[in-house]
Structure 1
């Protein structure tokens, strides 16, 4: 067995207590250490020794630090985002919002204006602008640090001329209407159990939302009907057990709600349209 594959197996064993994706984590870290992509690592690995940097990164992962913080990037939909401490790591579950938007606008020219509330490193906004090349968009976040990541990501992806970023408190003071509103608010109850490293490394304000995890939805509830154009879609991420509670909050003032599920068949996104 080549040294690289022995190291991958050893690292995966070391990470089993920290991660549910120990083998994947070890592969991503090895690819980063070798300055190649994961596909090349698996299909045509270089015949060389294992860099010391790999084991340093494995030690960081064993302490619970997210892989995305260690490598500095995370793939989401068809784009790659640069991320780091102070911003929420994009999750695959959030791709349901983009898939739902594509389905909603199928057969049309697509949305002209897109809003991403709580944009973080630009996750949903930049993915949507990549999917809908004729659209322009606005991303709002309370965190200057998150917006700096979003700005750099927009330039690197090549959509900076179509994306405006603004610091703000959700949609407070916003008077424009949009065809597509995307939002992944914090929705984890304050005392909920979360994965290893989440509380220690990721920003609390992007994750936790009060005793029931509903505080952000209560703020959004009166704002969303004022933001959406006729024929438009608001896609809001929810916790897997929050569909009923969030529907009760957001299906108001003429908006009706439907639920989109993730790949594990769990409720993941509330889709709001005009009745």
Structure 2
């Protein structure tokens, strides 16, 4: 699919203590929001799906922010309201971020290609303009491997699920409370967090509680650098400008796969 010289693929598929156990339980269902069929307990859809921002038949406002003669932002309208927006953040002539709005003009979804390899790496879901879930491809394998969940009232991340082994099953459960995070792991492959595997880390990453003495804490997944340029709707907060300080950096050369733009 082409957006005035920008080629965008429409879809590509790939497929502490009791508190943390209670928070996640079996971890069933489809947290990605892809598809309607219920997945087995502990299994997540790893598909990366790009939602099309259709220009055909709609009004398109093209903005050249840096006056280089190339489009930097395209705002697509239907019925007099903006329904989606395509942005070239790094001015390389290719879109890096896609934003989608509800009937009230409030953001409902955001996609980003944060390493500029033509693959969507992060998909954010919003309710009433507040982020509630973020899906990440942290390994550049063209598949979702990390799911973050947020408190819609505060915007704080409250839990994370990870597929660290790449088999499509959740094997790490992270719970955030204040300045600490508790991490439970499935080491025996039964799809459940093992009670004796829970490690609690401080804000600086130091182990403050370890039910399995001597076990190494799992490395945090590298988050995407957040977008640095956008033109939010008046009722939409601007994207953050700094990444979380407790996560590691992005790995090197990307692999093939994912939702091509």
TM-score (norm 2): 0.33
Which has the bigger relative contact order, CA under 8 A and spacing at least 6? 2
Is the helix fraction higher in 1 or 2? 1
Is the strand fraction higher in 1 or 2? 2
TM-score (norm 1): 0.32
